[in-house]
Structure 1
Amino acid sequence: MSIWTSKVSRAAAGTALALALSGCQMTSAPGPEKQSRFSGPPPSKMAVAGGQLIVSGPRGYCIDRESSRDDAGAAALVVLSPCRGLGAGLFAERAAHEAVMTAAVGARPMVAEPGRLLPAMQAFAATDQGLAALSRSGAAQNIQVRHIFAEGDVVYMRLTDRGQFAWGIVQPDYWRAVVPAGGRMLSLSVLALPQSPLSDSDGLRLLRDFVATVQAGSALPATSG
């Protein structure tokens, strides 16, 4: 491959990643179809992307129906928090750590081969375009990539994001994973709350658990509950 062709390929990959991740930044409030988080027992999972994916969290986590949305099988955002805080009752299983988790599903098909996702993300995160796509606020200057590595087909990133989280106050330092599943690109995050800080290792462990449950759900039939 020539140097020129390599540069064009990297640029195309970066543009494609930006387009895919833009569908993972659904930070606006849900529309009128939203449900109250206390309208009944919180569900443990949510089918998205036309049933291609079933999102669920680690034990003790449930779906926040009021904050989650699925745009008719296109982009989706699923927000999870401890079941007890969502009205599951005192007898519901307690989460090992209190945090907020998000699963954002890109509207477009996966744009990079799983085996090449790490170099694509490394190059992407080194650009202002990439940082803006990763930032909650869409501003490159608000985010820093502290660490990035891969485990299998999953890319993990340790980020510092000073942008505002749409559904409350969270710690700026957090772990995020980019996961290929169900033919889509997913962005999974574990966000620590000010009153329940997470150590670096605990946050990564929780995110790995989250990744495992989502990967398992990519092959399950579309049900909810």
Structure 2
Amino acid sequence: MFTWTSKLGAVLAALTALSACVPSEMGMLSASASRAMAVSGGAVTVAGPTGYCVDKGPSRDSPTGAFVLLGTCAALTGSATTGQPTYPAILTATVLPGAPDGAFEEHLPAMAAFFRSDPGRAALSRSGRAEDVTLSQVLSRGDVLYLRLQDRSAVAGQPVESEYWRAILQVRGRIVTLSALGLQDRPVPTQEKRRVLEAFVARVLAANAAQG
């Protein structure tokens, strides 16, 4: 039976493919860095936690969804005054239209079950193959679902760590997925990925609450 989670999986798979490549120039000076980026016709604002900026160059926005890439402000601007995290992570956000009706928290158990299934793991995989993904942890905190996973898919651009954290939440009628990962040559400890992801979630929620 076709369900809302099936629709989420199909759209998420398309955006996972879009976000699969971390550009090789990531971490070099960029004039396109900013603290936040409005997507979905201005309905949703993606903003990073302290020390992180949006790299608008590789970020994308369209009617079918948006992808936003963030790195440390220090790396993107070349300014030491912006501060540099002890473990610099790479953050990504995808924004999808069509959040489910009702309280989002009510859908979290079904979403958790979906992502444990083969179709769900395929949707999370950069290669689209369920066998490339291992789901290590599934946690819910309020109306946010957190996933800790390993994606062993090959990636273009800069090689990233196979393990990362992802959060799924609802913002202003859209489904938003946020991720925190590290580069292979600059690994980020698991707990630090989770900490920065939680800060990312809080920052996005605050930025959009301010819109009214």
Mark yes or no: TM-score above 0.5.
yes
Give the Cα separation in 2 of the matches to 1:13 and 1:138: 19
Identify the residue that residue 58 of structure 2 maps to in structure 1.
67
Give the Cα separation in 2 of the matches to 1:41 and 1:20: 27
RMSD of aligned residue pairs (Cα, Å): 2.3
Identify the residue that residue 49 of structure 2 maps to in structure 1.
58
Count of aligned pairs between the two proteins: 205
In the TM superposition, what whole-angstrom CA distance separates every residue of 1:150-184 from its partner, at most 9, and x where no partner exists?
Answer: 00000001100011344421110111111111111
Moved more, 19-28 or 57-66: 19-28
Question: Is the 1:23–1:105 Cα contact (8 Å) retained in structure 2?
Answer: no
| Unaligned residue ranges in structure 1 (runs of 5+) | 1-7, 30-36
Identify the residue that residue 80 of structure 1 maps to in structure 2.
70
Q: Does 1:183 align with 2:148?
A: no
Identify the residue that residue 154 of structure 2 maps to in structure 1.
164
Q: Which of 1 and 2 has greater Rg?
A: 1
Question: Is the 1:61–1:82 Cα contact (8 Å) retained in structure 2?
Answer: yes
Give the Cα separation in 2 of the matches to 1:109 and 1:23: 15
| Unaligned residue ranges in structure 2 (runs of 5+) | 22-27
Q: Which of 105, 119, 124 is 1:129 aligned to?
A: 119
User: What is the Cα deviation at residue 90 of structure 1?
Assistant: 2.5
Question: Is the 2:166–2:180 Cα contact (8 Å) retained in structure 1?
Answer: yes
Identify the residue that residue 31 of structure 2 maps to in structure 1.
40
TM-score w.r.t. the length of structure 2 is 0.86
Distance 1:187 1:166, change over 3 A: farther
Q: Which of 111, 120, 123 is 2:110 aligned to?
A: 120
TM-score w.r.t. the length of structure 1 is 0.82
Identity of aligned residues (%): 35
Give the Cα separation in 2 of the matches to 1:166 and 1:15: 27
What amino acid is aligned across from residue 109 of structure 2 in structure 1?
P
What amino acid is aligned across from residue 111 of structure 1 in structure 2?
P
Give the Cα separation in 1 of the matches to 2:5 and 2:64: 21
Q: Does 1:205 align with 2:195?
A: yes
Give the Cα separation in 1 of the matches to 2:15 and 2:208: 17
Identify the residue that residue 19 of structure 2 maps to in structure 1.
27
- Which protein is richer in strand relative to its size? 2
User: What is the Cα deviation at residue 103 of structure 1?
Assistant: 0.2
